[in-house]
Amino acid sequence: MAANVASGRNGLPEIQTQEKKADGIFHHDITAPVNAQTIDELHSLQKKKSAPTTPLDGIRGPFTAVSDDARSKQQLQSISASLASLTRETGPKVVKGDPAAARQSETPRVVGHHHHQRHVSPTINVTDSSLKFTHILYNLSPAELYEQAIKYEKGSFITSSGALATLSGAKTGRSPKDKRVVRDESTEHDLWWGKGSPNIEMDEHAFMVNRERAVDYLNSLDKVFVNDQFLNWDPENRIKVRIVSARAYHSLFMHNMCIRPTPEELENFGTPDFTIYNAGQFPCNRYTHYMTSSTSVDLNLSRREMVILGTQYAGEMKKGLFGVMHYLMPKRQILSLHSGSNMGKDGDVALFFGLSGTGKTTLSTDHNRYLIGDDEHCWSDKGVSNIEGGCYAKCIDLSRDKEPDIWNAIKFGTVLENVVFEEHTREVDYSDKSVTENTRAAYPIEYIPNAKIPCVGPHPKNVILLACDAFGVLPPVSKLNLAQTMYHFISGYTALVAGTEEGIKEPQATFSACFGAAFIMLHPTKYAAMLAEKMQKHGATGWLVNTGWSGGRYGSGSRIKLAYTRKIIDAIHSGSLLNADYKKTEVFGLEIPTEVEGVPSEILQPANTWPDKKAYNETLVKLAGLFKNNFQGFVSHKIGMDDKLTDEILAAGPIF
């Protein structure tokens, strides 16, 4: 090849790698020319249209064939029906796609899974809901949702590991006091109401006022996000959910947390079984009956709808749906569980119950075992199934060494809530609590390398009850008989520290029935009876594991090392702890092993670890009193058909 030397930019010699053509014109480009005549044409080439993965007309019979167009129309009609104001005649005019994209370009755009003809949208800001189109961003991909969040939602950034950092606004945790459940003829008798119940009532009318408020707000926006997804990996008991929301953050969060439909499943989705209207940034009207703040999370089981006003905390949606499952599943004789779950190589399944912060996510995510799920499960006659399609991990003080699988899951596609990062490098500082202590990562379950897909497993062998005991008196591990397991399940104890402010040293005991009183819908004894029956039938062993303090209460002792807790959990899984030597404790009557491989034996007996024995005994009796007091609410209830079990459970509490 002859190198021609000519004068390039800045007078520097330019090296020609091509021969001069006969016409005397230099050809600078060595690659093939672009297949477009205009910039618009070039841009239109960049995006390939998502085609349906199944040739629908080909595989269906001539009488059942539904054209793509008809299917797309049905889908839009279904979404319009979801968004319909119930006081007006028709639903809003809906069209798929980003209104900004439609304004920018003359070429039809594809957003979501189906191509749809672009309607001409008004270029002036016409806000009358009846005159405008509501643009629907339907089941967008994570990449599309990233772009939406970054373009339109303040506080959205890509972190150095590729996650989407977002802010949840004024609320950085759930608002259980603002939860309302419609009390009508059907729920009146079915649900748990009154003292101790999380179900604070509202009437149908107040619900409709809030529903209208949410729907009108959503329709006033130029676009809304719609996610059609599933709950429950048990195919026979799968629930179809639709989430209508105003933020890309919410849409991506639910994309990660619910089960993601395949394109085929989405084409045949039809009508949802349950719909969430999340108008989170818009408050409720406090003049509305039953409202006590500007936040309201309202559940109407008869309408199969939930309305969220005045909180953008995304966990509200995930845990809201969990409540729905706590109603729907027991009706089918399936037990819903606030637990993590994993499975060993030999197929042994463990459940991890516990209140927030006790270790469900951390301990079910175990590099040596298959992860079934970190938070919400069902136990049916066939075994366990995860309700969700993702995990929701706490990020505060997250370390690569101690929790490598969670660390590595924080990558492209993961939603990172309320974390603080270095403004230039976008490295997250997981120790920073400036926004909140409750920093979170929501990622699809397959981001954990040993996730068990599909997320189902056989009947559990071990049922592990986690308590983070900041009083430091519960043993790191004890083996429970069935009555003790039920006693502790119904009690649902944990004790965290009262606050993060200086000087507050007193642990705060929390009793939350079934380790999830905020989410259960029926009386706790209903779930307890089902758990007892299943554990008995399948021969599962119960364990109480304290992931909290040792060597003294909060302030003088310290939290049990995660590495030790993991060793304890390993010994439960392997079966070695089942046959260990045990010693029974006073007061709580708990069986404590004398040895656990990899754990210093002296920490197994809490009494040994307290330098001040008198303080230990006082604290132990104090906690026992709190247990006894809490259980008073259950003494008059029968658990299951068996009077004997009820008596045994009552006797399984602390004696002092």
Ligand X SMILES: Nc1ncnc2c1ncn2[C@@H]1O[C@H](COP(=O)(O)OP(=O)(O)O)[C@@H](O)[C@H]1O
Note the residues at the interface with ligand X (CB under 6 A). Answer: 354, 356-363, 393-394, 547, 559-560, 562, 565
Structure tokens given for 33: 């020319």
Task: Compute the distance between CA of residue 315 and CA of residue 111 in angstroms, rounded to an integer.
Answer: 26
Which residues sit opposite 416 in a β-bridge? Answer: 165, 441
Q: Measured from the CB atom, is 354 or 606 closer to ligand X?
A: 354
Task: Compute the distance between CA of residue 444 and CA of residue 446 in angstroms, rounded to an integer.
Answer: 5
CB of 384 to ligand X, least distance (A): 17
* Residue 336 sits in the site that holds ligand PEP (CB under 6 A): no
* Residue 523 sits in the site that holds ligand PEP (CB under 6 A): no
Closest residue to ligand PEP, judged by C-beta, is: 356
Task: Compute the distance between CA of residue 568 and CA of residue 574 in angstroms, rounded to an integer.
Answer: 10
Q: Which SS3 state, helix, strand or coil, does residue 219 take?
A: helix
Write the CB contacts of 490 (distance below 8 Å, at least 6 apart in sequence). 513, 514, 524, 525, 528, 631, 634, 639, 649
Among 275, 361, 484, 646, contact with ligand PEP (rule: CB under 6 A): 361
Task: Compute the distance between CA of residue 347 and CA of residue 598 in angstroms, rounded to an integer.
Answer: 24
Q: Measured from the CB atom, is 211 or 319 closer to Ca ion?
A: 319
Task: Compute the distance between CA of residue 325 and CA of residue 290 in angstroms, rounded to an integer.
Answer: 24
Q: Measured from the CB atom, is 214 or 355 closer to ligand X?
A: 355
Question: Do β-strands 477-480 and 370-373 pair in parallel, antiparallel, or remain unpaired?
Answer: unpaired
Site string for ligand PEP, 296-325 (x = CB under 6 A): -------------------x---x------
CA 296 from centroid of its chain's CA atoms? 19
Task: Compute the distance between CA of residue 570 and CA of residue 591 in angstroms, rounded to an integer.
Answer: 18
Three-state SS for 351-384 is EEECCCCCCHHHHHCCCCCEEEECCCEEEECCEE
Residues touching Mn ion, count (CB under 5 A):
3
DSSP calls for 117-141: PPPPPPSS----TTTSEEEEEES--
CB of 212 to ligand PEP, least distance (A): 27
Task: Compute the distance between CA of residue 53 and CA of residue 265 in angstroms, rounded to an integer.
Answer: 11
CB of 328 to ligand X, least distance (A): 23
Crossing angle of helices 524-538 and 482-491, in 10° steps, is: 150
Residues touching ligand PEP, count (CB under 6 A):
8
Among 278, 300, 339, 356, contact with ligand PEP (rule: CB under 6 A): 356
CA 185 from centroid of its chain's CA atoms? 31
Q: Measured from the CB atom, is 178 or 375 closer to Mn ion?
A: 375
CB of 355 to ligand PEP, least distance (A): 7
* Residue 392 sits in the site that holds ligand PEP (CB under 6 A): yes
Sign of the torsion formed by the C-alpha atoms of 475, 477, 478 and 480: positive
Q: Using CB atoms within 10 A of its CB, is residue 321 exposed (0-12), middle (13-18) or buried (19+)?
A: buried
Q: Measured from the CB atom, is 356 or 418 closer to ligand PEP?
A: 356
Q: Measured from the CB atom, is 113 or 338 closer to ligand X?
A: 338
Task: Compute the distance between CA of residue 523 and CA of residue 540 in angstroms, rounded to an integer.
Answer: 23
Q: Any idea which residue has 């969060």 for tokens?
A: 253
CB of 340 to ligand X, least distance (A): 7
CB of 361 to Mn ion, least distance (A): 3
CB of 549 to Ca ion, least distance (A): 20
Q: Measured from the CB atom, is 213 or 360 closer to ligand PEP?
A: 360
Q: Any idea which residue has 């299917």 for tokens?
A: 71
CB of 315 to ligand X, least distance (A): 11
Partner from ligand PEP, Mn ion, ligand X, none binding residue 565, C-beta < 5-8 Å depending on class? ligand X
For residue 651, what are the CA distances in angstroms to 121, 624, 644? 69, 13, 11
Which residues are part of the catalytic machinery? 174, 319, 338, 356, 360-361, 375, 440
Site string for Mn ion, 355-374 (x = CB under 5 A): -----xx-------------
Stretch of residues binding ligand PEP (CB under 6 A), selected from 213-221, 354-362, 379-387, 613-621? 354-362
CB of 358 to ligand PEP, least distance (A): 8
* Residue 113 sits in the site that holds ligand PEP (CB under 6 A): no
Q: Restricting to residues 348-387, which ones interact with Ca ion according to CB under 5 A?
A: 356
Question: Do β-strands 591-593 and 582-584 pair in parallel, antiparallel, or remain unpaired?
Answer: antiparallel
Site string for Mn ion, 305-344 (x = CB under 5 A): ----------------------------------------
Residue 583 belongs to what H/E stretch? strand 582-584
Q: Any idea which residue has 């996000």 for tokens?
A: 225
Q: Measured from the CB atom, is 115 or 319 closer to ligand PEP?
A: 319
* Residues near Mn ion (CB under 5 A): 360-361, 375
* Residues near ligand PEP (CB under 6 A): 174, 315, 319, 356, 360-361, 375, 392
* Residues near Ca ion (CB under 5 A): 356
